[in-house]
Amino acid sequence: MSLNHAILGLLSREPMTGYEIKKIFRGTPFLHWSGNNNQIYKAFAELLDEGFVAKEVRHREGAPSKNIYTITDAGLEMFHRWLAGAVEEPVFRKQILIRLALADRLKRADLERMLDAYAETVRLQAALAEQELDKCWFANQADSGANRFFGLIRENVLSFYASELEWIRKARAFIAELPDEDGEAHEPMVGNENEKAGSKMNPIIKELRGKRYLHLTGGGSPIGTEQDAIDIIALCVEHDTNAVLLDGGALSDDFVRLRTGLAGAVLQKFVNYNIKAAAVVEHGRQFPERFREMISEYRNGNTFRVFTDPEEAVEWLLG
């Protein structure tokens, strides 16, 4: 595990607090650790234990005290030993390859849909990575303006996604040329029919002060796939509105876990179709930290907001 070494590396530049380190991990795509509290604070406890860092507690009037960590000589030596040691091989995980290997007998249309969904995921991921890269800690450092190798790193990361998109193009071309034998026994796709939206999501059109909005009540099932977003948009177009009120139940577990990419994909679609969405959640509901961060990022825009009070939500939606 080189997390500890990476922390030492960061501290070799300047002393930092756990929280700062955590934010760096969060905002840097090639630092593949999620940077959750447990990991970071545990790592510091270990490093302190081994004498690789020193802790300075800074008490602040009327504020929680900070722990500022400084690297020790032993820590610096450890870090340099790590740099001199063997480099790990690069690894990847691509579920799409597993699917493709196992979905050998799928119908062409289903394969195309799968690849298209993958392409959208990759594009999203690439955009996210680019954005994060350009505002991450390494992009612009105090001493030398920017890290000497940042350009190389950036290129490496983005080329990963670029070559994936290029491969998708090839794969699409390949399956387009496949003979589609209707008589063949195809593995059926399950649960991809369009009419499920109506039955599953329980949408109601409401009106307030002459303005319409679509209300997805908690009684229906949550937004669990990108298809659900498409269905919502279709309903909006049908009823000539661009405002959607989501009951808390509509936010599925997959939705609030950002790494599934679902929230990103759905909200991107909302942006594309100029649709405003307000979610009303119970007061006590806890979301993953990443999701909360995303919420606060969306606060700047006019696409998505989370409320606890339904009236406030509608107010914003129609305002």
Partner DNA sequence: GAACCCATGTAACTAGTTACATGATTCA
Partner DNA sequence: TGAATCATGTAACTAGTTACATGGGTTC
| Contact status: 62 vs DNA (CB under 7 A) | yes
Q: Compute how many other C-beta atoms are within 10 angstroms of the C-beta atom of residue 240.
A: 8
The option from DNA, a copy of itself, none interacting with 87 (CB < 5 to 8 A, set by class) reads a copy of itself
| Interaction between residue 87 and DNA (CB under 7 A) | no
The nearest distance, CB 15 to a copy of itself, in angstroms, is 16
Q: Are strands 16-17 and 53-60 parallel, antiparallel or unpaired?
A: unpaired
Rounded to a whole number of angstroms, the minimum distance from the CB of residue 7 to a copy of itself is 10
What's the Cα-to-Cα distance from 300 to each of 69, 125, 280, 307, rounded to whole Å? 33, 21, 18, 15
Using CB under 7 A, pick the residue from 15, 218, 248, 288 that binds DNA: 288
| 221/308 with CB nearer DNA | 308
Rounded to the nearest 5°, which phi and psi values hold at 28?
Answer: -120, 110
Say which residues have a Cβ less than 8 Å from residue 171's Cβ, sequence separation at least 6: 100, 115
Q: Which does 206 bind (CB under 5 to 8 A by kind): a copy of itself, DNA, none?
A: none
| Window of 14-22, 65-73, 95-103, 300-308 that interacts with a copy of itself by CB under 8 A | 95-103
Assign 105 to helix, strand or coil. coil
Does residue 286 bind DNA (CB under 7 A)? Answer: yes
CB atoms < 10 A from the CB of 87, how many?
7
**Cβ nearer to a copy of itself, comparing 218 with 224:** 224
Site for DNA in 243-282 (CB under 7 A): 253, 256-257, 259
Inter-residue contact 260 to 230 (CB < 8 Å): no
Binding residues for a copy of itself restricted to 101-120, rule: CB under 8 A: 101-104, 106, 110, 114, 117-118
Q: Which residues between 172 and 211 bind a copy of itself (CB under 8 A)?
A: 174, 178, 187-192
For residue 127, give every residue at least 6 positions away whose Cβ sits within 8 Å of its Cβ, in sequence order, or none. none
From candidates 5, 10, 18, 71, binder to DNA by CB under 7 A: 18
Residue range at the interface with DNA (CB under 7 A); choices 157-165, 219-227, 243-251, 287-295 = 287-295
For residue 59, state whether it binds DNA (rule: CB under 7 A): no
Residue 305 DSSP SS3? strand
The reply on whether position 283 binds DNA by CB under 7 A is yes
Helix (H, G, I), strand (E, B) or coil at 202: coil
Query: Which listed residue (37, 58, 70, 80) binds a copy of itself by CB under 8 A?
Result: 80
Q: How many CA atoms lie within 13 A of 223 on its CB side?
A: 31
Structure tokens belonging to residue 234: 């279709």
Question: Which of 309, 310, 311, 315 touches DNA (CB under 7 A)?
Answer: 309
225: Cβ contacts below 8 Å, ≥ 6 apart: 262
- Angle, helices 37-49 vs 18-27, to 10°: value is 130
CB of 61 to DNA, least distance (A): 7
* Residue 217 lies near DNA (rule: CB under 7 A): no
Q: Within 209-248, which residues bind a copy of itself (CB under 8 A)?
A: 225-226
Class of residue 210 by CB neighbours under 10 A (exposed 0-12, middle 13-18, buried 19+): exposed
By CB under 8 A, tell whether 131 contacts a copy of itself: no
